[in-house]
Structure 1
Amino acid sequence: MDFTRCFVFRFVFIGLFSVFTLTGQKKSKVEDDTHLRAKPKLVVGIVVDQMRYDYITRFYNHYGEGGFKRMITEGFNCKNNHFNYAPTSTGPGHASVHTGTTPATHGIIGNNWYDKENDETVYCAGDDSYTSVGTTSDAGQMSPHRMRVTTVSDELRLHTQMRGKTIAIALKDRGAVIPGGHTANAAYWFYGDNEGKWISSTYYMSELPTWVADFNTSGAAQSYKRAWTTIKDISTYTESGPDNNAYEGLLEGESAPTFPHNSTNLLDKDKNFEIIKGTPFGNSITADFAIEALDKEELGMDEDTDFLAISFSSTDYVGHKYGVNSKEIQDTYLRLDADLERLLTALDKKVGEGEYTVFLSADHGAVEVPTYLKDMKIPAGYVDYSTIKTKFSDFLKYKYGTEDIVKNFSNLQIFLDHNIIKNLDLDVKQVQEDIAKEYLGYEFIDRVYTGDQMWQNEYTRGIPYILQNGYNQKRSGDVLLVLKPGFISYGKTGSTHGSPQIYDTHVPLLFFGKGIKKGSTVERTEIPDIAPTISALLGISFPSGSTGKPISVVLQ
């Protein structure tokens, strides 16, 4: 009897264990399958032009709960995020965010660069084989043809058999054309001048959709031609310098760089809409237009994931004019925070809270105004290349008998005429080294590298690593110059960017929404990691030139 009971008990136990095990396995498989299918209805990729990481921390206490703070507290904050290449400028920045690689691979080595194959200067998004849509000007002659690889949105379009929709929006043409990738359904940018319209290119369409034409005639642009006052009491802006100082530029018609800004050009509602870009209202009209696109294009409304690329450009215009320590830059970010809250609220309403994924980063950082740094007894200064032109010309004539050995100087790169070098029976490598040593003797130069060094070595850290990631063998120059930290070639007011220095490379990276963990990391992440992370989240192919890697701690 005891034996029988024991046998029955063991039989029942084993049976129950098997059921539990099978049930567990089935549940696990269901969870895995669900996880694979759990993709957002919409991805929103946000690039804030010229946003240093410390704009998050400096102004944090002034932000509302629904913008930057919401993304940080409900999402994931990569605190040690950097560009891993130079030059750090708008065209390369937007390309690198969306392609998951650097200029060495995607080919966008600057906003403009010297095309050594065709002996001409080219613009990163310029393409005169297309015409403007929405304006009679040539401002729409644009396409992404100079970008040599795919973007994350291109891969999403291919993955969904082109059913997933991609719309790209920015004040700047390059801020829309490049993030949109090669397959975007549309890219729109703001043409100021005396029109104040959102326009496009025949690369995307033959005419503007009705909703865009309606937006252009709605009076939205005119509504932002108004005085710029601070969104909060200016006396509370203790995180920035004095309102009236010598480090800031002036709006046309103003005698002091102080609030309120109410110049005639800013108030005139009939012309000069370009001025909107240099105020926080440029970001506001960008948010307005993006929210309208969200609705009218029905983004995130079906089973195929869509992609909305937004670039907020006014932050760059304001930073260039007023500098990173200005009341104007602080007010611009507080207003941008409010615009982000409006955008997230619209996404909650139209797509559904928890049904979309957002990432936010920047295309580059910015340097403190060198005159301000010098007044604070910090090493800094300005470079005037005209003052060394004679000295360098004398060197070329003495060394080689001609100045024509140098074809172009741009983006801190020297391009040599290889045909002349060959005719003079000289060695290119030696000429590169000779010129590098000459420039290394100039006071404002920190270090110099040659194209041969970029070809022959594989750098893994520091400035040479950053330069090499920005060096494209077919497009970059023969000698690469690096200015001393805090030194720039720019006017005496306002901030700029472009260097491999940390103030230009350290930028925010926030992830928020579906599939994203809550948390933060101080481990180093790099800009090319963004596109692979989103690709991994979506379960799609990485962009064709991707060199970054998914940030695993971000993903659920």
Structure 2
Amino acid sequence: MKRLLVLISIFTLSMSCGSQNVKTETSKKEVVNGVTGKPKLVVGIVVDQMRYDYLTRFNSKFGEGGFKRMIREGFNCKNNHFNYVPTYTGPGHASIYTGTTPKYHGIIGNNWYDKEIKESVYCAGDDNVNSVGTEHVAGKMSPHRMQTTTFGDENRLFTQMQGKTIGVSLKDRGAILPAGHTANAAYWFHGRDEGVWITSSFYRNDLPKWVTDFNNSDTAESYFKVWDTFHDISTYNESGADDNTFEGGFNGKEKATFPYDLKQLKETNRGFEILKATPYGNSLTADFAMAAIKGEDLGQDDITDVLAVSFSSTDYVGHNFGVNSKEVEDTYIRLDKDLERLFKYLDETVGKGEYTVFLTSDHGAIDVPAYLRSLKIPAGYLNNRATKTRFDEYLLSTFENSDLVENVSNDQIFLNRNKVDSLGLNINALTEKMVNELIKYDHVYKVYSAHTMVTTDFTTGIEQLLQNGYNQKRSGDIILVPDPDYISYGKTGSTHGSGLNHDTHVPLLFFGKGIKHGETYDKTVIPDIAPTMSALLGISFPNSSTGQPLGFVLD
């Protein structure tokens, strides 16, 4: 339809301008596209929980058509970091596409305590929309809590809503937040006993035929097979022993060791949900992304489309098995093959040199603290119950009241403002007293008050990261920072969320149309991605973007 509209417009202009036909056609392209020679399709790829060192650590196991192709043909930003905390999935995806931090886009966590309604909310949850493609509540999602635009939104506005935007991910938030507010659709995978791709009425009231056809195929079911290592496991020298005490594993299997018979294990692991925690979840995502390119005719005319793809299985595998596991290594080896499949498909359908890709991650991950501790590296686990008990005793003895705290979540304390006011306490003086108390506790590294976050301009260190992640309206009254490599998590598997390098240092690769070949060790930050894509497309930056366009990557 877009191609038809453009052709009709060009034909009409040519009839009125006669001999100026060629000049007028170019002028029309400039009106629609801003500049000539823009990519027909921008593909944003987020690999959930991908540390930067996975690029180098597993390099010898990668083929030539995936990660290595991006590096060989494109630009590698080797010192790319998140410039805020917390480093979680929701904030990460929002920051990549909006070009700013939680301070402005408002996605301060995957979940957070809403001070107005006095309950926890989910970053993509929306009770005002309906599920599409399932009767389960898994479809009641939208980007309404994200307060700023994405570069996909700006491209839609610039092209008079002719350029399409589609989001694809196993996770709802991984599809919805990147796709933005004006997206044609975002699709995510609903597992359990259904195994279907769904959306919400925020975007449309039914599934398009191509999605229904995909769901009716046996693609998802075909991945209920044995997961064994892609190469001989004895060659996996880049990861630890397969049999160790630092991994979780699956219900119904005594040891977290290869191989895994997924068909046999699915009944004790919530049916289709088990696919998410294997590399086959990424393969399924690649399958669906390619179906979206075909079904939506992405990149088939001169008006730029945007496809946001998030590979989530890497996160599920990392949480389950840990950074140093054979399972993580095999997952990245197989993801590399899926990237190669996707790039070849783009070459065939959009055209080699006619599309642009960037690849990054929403956060990194910590090595399993129990493993670090076994190597005499300071690390461990927080005893939140003991901390709460001690702090409650302090509140009771000091203020003769145990109801001053309303909620504790995401390393933040939310005070009961009504109680504080009723007792005639000064909120700033109160929080400073609490800060001075909490800093004495075991494994509390730093403590800051909301007053400090909004009155002091930090330019370096963890304080700057905290401030960039602090949203005055949504964040808590006190922020705690645990000791390095101390986490609130189980004794197996990896997690994330800190401002330490293992969580902030993630890949940033560009390749395709308009991208130079090269590399840099100059520091880049996640909010730089969206304005760089905007500069490439000649469109407005997202409305609250704080990043800078990386001119050195653009050709």
Give the match for residue 245 of structure 2.
Answer: 246
Matches of 1:213 and 1:296, distance apart in 2? 11
Contact 2:225–2:262 under 8 Å retained in 1: no
Which one is further off, 345-354 or 439-448? Answer: 439-448
Query: Residue 269 and residue 208 in structure 1: after superposition, are their counterparts in 2 closer, same or farther (change >3 A)?
Result: farther
Contact 1:265–1:275 under 8 Å retained in 2: no
Give the match for residue 503 of structure 2.
Answer: 504
Contact 1:266–1:276 under 8 Å retained in 2: no
Amino acid at match of 2:313: S
Contact 1:168–1:179 under 8 Å retained in 2: yes
Give the match for residue 13 of structure 1.
Answer: none
Amino acid at match of 1:462: G
Query: Residue 268 and residue 448 in structure 1: after superposition, are their counterparts in 2 closer, same or farther (change >3 A)?
Result: closer
Structure 1 residue 385 displacement after superposition: 0.5
Amino acid at match of 2:120: T
**Aligned partner of residue 480 in structure 2, secondary structure:** strand
Ranges in structure 1 where 5+ consecutive residues have no aligned partner? 1-29
Give the match for residue 218 of structure 2.
Answer: 219
Which one is further off, 431-440 or 76-85? Answer: 431-440
Amino acid at match of 2:374: D
Amino acid at match of 2:390: K
Give the match for residue 407 of structure 1.
Answer: 406
Contact 1:86–1:470 under 8 Å retained in 2: yes
Give the match for residue 8 of structure 1.
Answer: none
Give the match for residue 530 of structure 2.
Answer: 531
Contact 2:112–2:122 under 8 Å retained in 1: yes
Counterparts of residues 93-492 of structure 1 (less than 5 Å): 93-262=92-261, 265-266=264-265, 272-492=271-491
CA displacement, residues 389-432 of structure 1 (integer Å, 9 cap, x when unaligned): 22111001011111211100000000011221122111111111
Structure 1 residue 262 displacement after superposition: 1.7
Query: Residue 430 and residue 328 in structure 1: after superposition, are their counterparts in 2 closer, same or farther (change >3 A)?
Result: same
Query: Residue 106 and residue 271 in structure 1: after superposition, are their counterparts in 2 closer, same or farther (change >3 A)?
Result: closer
Matches of 1:117 and 1:288, distance apart in 2? 42
Matches of 1:264 and 1:254, distance apart in 2? 12
CA displacement, residues 213-268 of structure 1 (integer Å, 9 cap, x when unaligned): 11001011110111110111111110000000000002010111100012565356
CA displacement, residues 313-341 of structure 1 (integer Å, 9 cap, x when unaligned): 00000000000000000000000000000
Give the match for residue 540 of structure 1.
Answer: 539
Matches of 2:165 and 2:183, distance apart in 1? 5
Matches of 2:350 and 2:81, distance apart in 1? 31
Contact 2:49–2:315 under 8 Å retained in 1: yes
Ranges in structure 2 where 5+ consecutive residues have no aligned partner? 1-26
TM-score, normalised via structure 2 length: 0.93
Which one is further off, 265-274 or 285-294? Answer: 265-274
CA displacement, residues 333-370 of structure 1 (integer Å, 9 cap, x when unaligned): 00000000000000000000000000000000000000
Counterparts of residues 30-45 of structure 1 (less than 5 Å): 36-45=35-44
Give the match for residue 14 of structure 2.
Answer: none
Contact 2:266–2:274 under 8 Å retained in 1: no
Give the match for residue 15 of structure 2.
Answer: none
Contact 1:180–1:186 under 8 Å retained in 2: yes
Matches of 1:310 and 1:273, distance apart in 2? 20
Matches of 2:497 and 2:295, distance apart in 1? 37
Matches of 1:100 and 1:196, distance apart in 2? 33
Contact 2:413–2:478 under 8 Å retained in 1: yes
Amino acid at match of 1:335: R
Query: Residue 268 and residue 217 in structure 1: after superposition, are their counterparts in 2 closer, same or farther (change >3 A)?
Result: farther
Structure 1 residue 270 displacement after superposition: 12
Matches of 1:450 and 1:39, distance apart in 2? 47
Structure 1 residue 67 displacement after superposition: 0.1
Query: Residue 480 and residue 267 in structure 1: after superposition, are their counterparts in 2 closer, same or farther (change >3 A)?
Result: closer
Structure 1 residue 36 displacement after superposition: 3.3
Matches of 2:148 and 2:265, distance apart in 1? 40
Matches of 1:438 and 1:213, distance apart in 2? 57
CA displacement, residues 293-331 of structure 1 (integer Å, 9 cap, x when unaligned): 111111000121000000000000000000000000000
**Aligned partner of residue 248 in structure 1, secondary structure:** coil
Matches of 1:509 and 1:337, distance apart in 2? 15
TM-score, normalised via structure 1 length: 0.93
Matches of 1:249 and 1:255, distance apart in 2? 10
Matches of 2:104 and 2:384, distance apart in 1? 30
Matches of 2:142 and 2:215, distance apart in 1? 22
Give the match for residue 15 of structure 1.
Answer: none
Contact 1:228–1:259 under 8 Å retained in 2: yes
Amino acid at match of 2:414: F
Matches of 2:306 and 2:242, distance apart in 1? 40
Query: Residue 393 and residue 46 in structure 1: after superposition, are their counterparts in 2 closer, same or farther (change >3 A)?
Result: same
Structure 1 residue 117 displacement after superposition: 1.4
Contact 1:194–1:270 under 8 Å retained in 2: no
Matches of 1:119 and 1:443, distance apart in 2? 29
**Aligned partner of residue 220 in structure 2, secondary structure:** helix
Amino acid at match of 2:230: I
Structure 1 residue 271 displacement after superposition: 7.0
Amino acid at match of 1:408: N
Amino acid at match of 1:471: Y
CA displacement, residues 45-89 of structure 1 (integer Å, 9 cap, x when unaligned): 000100000000000011000000000110000000000001100
Amino acid at match of 2:469: G
Larger Rg: 1
Matches of 1:482 and 1:269, distance apart in 2? 37
**Aligned partner of residue 238 in structure 1, secondary structure:** coil
CA displacement, residues 70-120 of structure 1 (integer Å, 9 cap, x when unaligned): 001100000000000011000000000000000000000000000001111
Query: Residue 35 and residue 169 in structure 1: after superposition, are their counterparts in 2 closer, same or farther (change >3 A)?
Result: closer
Amino acid at match of 1:126: G
Matches of 2:399 and 2:174, distance apart in 1? 42
Amino acid at match of 2:348: K
Matches of 1:267 and 1:257, distance apart in 2? 15
Structure 1 residue 35 displacement after superposition: 10
Counterparts of residues 75-94 of structure 1 (less than 5 Å): 75-94=74-93
Contact 1:227–1:267 under 8 Å retained in 2: no
Contact 2:250–2:269 under 8 Å retained in 1: no
Query: Residue 269 and residue 223 in structure 1: after superposition, are their counterparts in 2 closer, same or farther (change >3 A)?
Result: farther
Contact 2:84–2:469 under 8 Å retained in 1: yes
**Aligned partner of residue 481 in structure 2, secondary structure:** strand
Matches of 2:148 and 2:92, distance apart in 1? 14
Matches of 1:406 and 1:343, distance apart in 2? 50
Q: Tell me the C-alpha RMSD between the 2 structures.
A: 1.6
Matches of 1:265 and 1:126, distance apart in 2? 33
Structure 1 residue 442 displacement after superposition: 1.1
